[in-house]
Amino acid sequence: MSIRLGGGQGFYGDTPRAVEGLLAEGVDYLCLEALAELTLAILQKDRARDESLGYTRDLPRYLAAAIPAVLDGSTKVITNAGGINPRGAAHAAVETARRLGVSGLKIATVLGDDLMSRLGSVRDETAGGLANMETGEPCDSLGTDPLFAAAYLGAFPIADALAQGADIVITGRVADAALFLGPLVHEHGWARDDWDRLAAGILVGHLLECSGQVAGGNFSGEWWTIPEPWKLPYPIAEVDADGAAVITKPAASGGRVDVDTVRHQLLYEVHDPAAYFAPDVVADFSSAHFEDLGGDRVRVSGVRGRPATGTYKALLAHHAGWAGETRVAFSWPDAPEKARATAAILAKRVEMAGLEVQEWCFEEWGVRALGGPTVPPLPEGVEPSECVMRVAWRCDDERTATAVGRELVPLALSAPPAGLTGMGRGMAGGVTELLGIWPTLVDKALVDPHVTITIEEV
């Protein structure tokens, strides 16, 4: 028996309108992937303003679209929209159901990824003291208390919630692909040491977690050949008990599913395809075999896996100062030269004003902002018709960051000639609090005993 999974969300801010097409096709599970490291930082700022927040606030819109199908028994919903406040998300889900006048729903909340209440003991019991995965620095070197600390849980708590009869499962920080592996573990009865099947489920989850990308979105091949890209294609996976799967999409949507679009997503955000680390397994994506079945259907099989590691990835966030940003445009001739000269003038004025900037970022949009040094030089005698200078800066305090932006304003009439034009938030820009991200590893034995599932019936 195949289990049909739908990837109905790829990020916080995606469109709930895509859910309708997936439900019309008939999916057993609608998986909504809402989190990224940046998202957690956004949610932390929400929670700082209102402690009842900290979850993705578009969750009610997604649930409102899906609940009719949940009520008739045709699908269940799994989402990590709980962010850093799964209890708050569960409350929002209950209120959504009540507002719609429905009853008989079981809403499960997976808890235990939040390490903040016991962070001191976790740090003391962790070799290296929650050292930064990238730099090796100990957590004590942060110099400030973390604002949140979350471990990336795996799929088995989700499977446990489904086994307890949940219709909607809300988690905090779990690995993205675990949202899709969880229902496969539940439905197919895969064991914790069934490495090949777990790896196959992780690969399916990875292919579906970014919504339209596996079906032609962001396609880096002949992107102009993707049919009707305005009719956003969100993916479906039909997964057998042996882990083999067919990746497809709703027939009425745009996009395309073929071997090229699938392997494009396969390599997205992957460091080593032969060793993709997930909480429940180390998957070898390079072992996968793709077969184009035609009709927007690609079969994936042969995925191999190895035993999971003894640690979870965890993410800490800490205050990292204040950032300001501004963008100004310059016209031909000599547009890039004018932009660079203005950047130098701004930096000198800031220095003269006695304002301390911890870090500058200067980018020349329209010339080499995205490609940097990899961009080939323009042919001799060819000049870009315009250049946008983006300047960002980091300061220790909000007041200084704001003052830096003001030093650009007088240059409106005193910069190099022909067209200093403010864009976006204006020449003075705006400032925002920065959060630093601290990736680390935590022994699973310090996390798993604290993982719990609560179920509320509406």
Query: Nearest to residue 317, comparing CAs of 92, 160, 109, 115?
Result: 115
Phi first, then psi, for residue 274 (nearest 5°) are -85, -10
Q: Which fold has domain 317-438?
A: Alpha-Beta Plaits (3.30.70)
- What is the rounded CA–CA span in Å between residue 277 and residue 169? 24
Q: Which alpha helices (H) appear in 255-386, and where do they start and end? A: 259-266, 335-352
pLDDT of the residue at 428: 59
C-alpha distance across the termini of the chain, in Å: 31
Q: Is the peptide bond before 333 cis (omega within 30 degrees of 0)?
A: yes
Give the pairing of strands 29-32 and 3-9.
parallel
- What is the rounded CA–CA span in Å between residue 225 and residue 344? 44
pLDDT of the residue at 420: 62
pLDDT of the residue at 151: 97
Note the pTM of the prediction, 2 decimals. Answer: 0.93
Calculated CA dihedral for residues 343, 348, 350, 354, nearest 10 degrees: 160
Give the pairing of strands 311-331 and 430-443.
antiparallel
List, as one string, the DSSP characters of 101-156. T----EEEEEE--B-GGGHHHHHHTSTTSS--TTT---GGGG-S--SEEEE-B-SH
pLDDT of the residue at 429: 64
Per-residue pLDDT of the chain (458 residues; tens, 9 = 90+): 899 999 999 999 999 998 999 999 999 999 999 998 889 989 999 999 999 999 999 999 999 999 999 999 999 999 999 999 999 999 999 999 999 999 999 999 999 999 999 999 999 998 888 999 999 998 888 878 899 999 999 999 999 999 999 999 999 999 999 999 999 999 999 999 999 999 999 999 999 999 999 999 999 999 999 999 999 999 999 999 999 999 999 999 999 999 999 999 999 999 999 999 999 999 999 999 999 999 999 999 999 999 999 999 999 999 999 999 988 889 888 999 999 999 999 999 999 999 999 999 999 998 888 888 888 888 888 888 899 999 999 999 999 999 999 998 888 888 787 566 665 555 556 789 999 999 999 999 999 999 999 999 99
pLDDT of the residue at 3: 98
pLDDT of the residue at 316: 95
Q: Are 384 and 339 in contact (CB under 8 A)?
A: no
- What is the rounded CA–CA span in Å between residue 207 and residue 202? 9
Identify the burial level of 383 via C-beta atoms within 10 angstroms of its C-beta, where 0-12 means exposed, 13-18 middle and 19 or more buried.
Answer: middle
Query: Nearest to residue 33, comparing CAs of 182, 149, 166, 156?
Result: 182
Domain boundaries in the chain?
3-113+152-309, 317-438
